[in-house]
Amino acid sequence: MLNEFLYGKIHRVTVTEANLEYVGSITIDKALLDASGIKPNQKVEILNINNGERFSTYVIEGRENSGTICLNGAAARKAQVKDKIIIVAYALLDEKEQLTFKPKIAHVDENNKLINIK
């Protein structure tokens, strides 16, 4: 049996841009993607701490160490610049994988710079 589990998480990043004119997605600093294990084009769920919005979109890789967290297209309506969000990705794991799998959780500072990975 497969069950859905947390795969990767970027915890409490700050939205730096909202680009309504783009086609869609979220642009994320490459360093944060690498730290969390989240991949470009992967589906992610966005949890907005400021307003309680929860929505899904896909990832575009941003410039490494830029601190970029940019909501694009329709997603730009779900958060304001400076909102704190949590970005999560899930994976389907079989019963054996469930016993040992550990998600990567990236923690950042107020400038979206990586502090640690848990």
Is 58 marked active-site? Answer: yes
- Rounded CA gap, 13 and 18, in Å? 14
Over range 24-43, report the average pLDDT.
97
Of 7, 22, 25, 36, catalytic: 25
Per-residue pLDDT, averaged over 70-86, amounts to 97
pLDDT range class, residue 108, cuts 50, 70, 90 = very high
Query: Among the options 22, 58, 66, 90, which is catalytic?
Result: 58
Predicted confidence (pLDDT) per residue in 46-57, tens digit: 999 999 999 999
Domain boundaries, the chain: 3-109
The answer, yes or no, to whether residue 24 has pLDDT greater than 90, is no
Q: What is the mean pLDDT of residues 111-116?
A: 97
Contacts of 80 (CB under 8 A, 6+ apart): 15, 18, 50
Confirm if 16 and 81 have CB atoms less than 8 A apart.
yes
Instruction: Give the pLDDT band (50/70/90) at residue 20.
Output: very high
CB 44 within 8 A of CB 57: yes
Query: Among candidates 86, 95, 75, which has minimal Cα distance to 8?
Result: 86
pTM score, whole prediction: 0.96
CB-CB contact of 29 with 67 (8 Å)? yes
CATH class of 3-109: mainly beta
pLDDT of residue 23: 82
Report which secondary-structure segment, H or E, holds 35.
Answer: helix 30-36
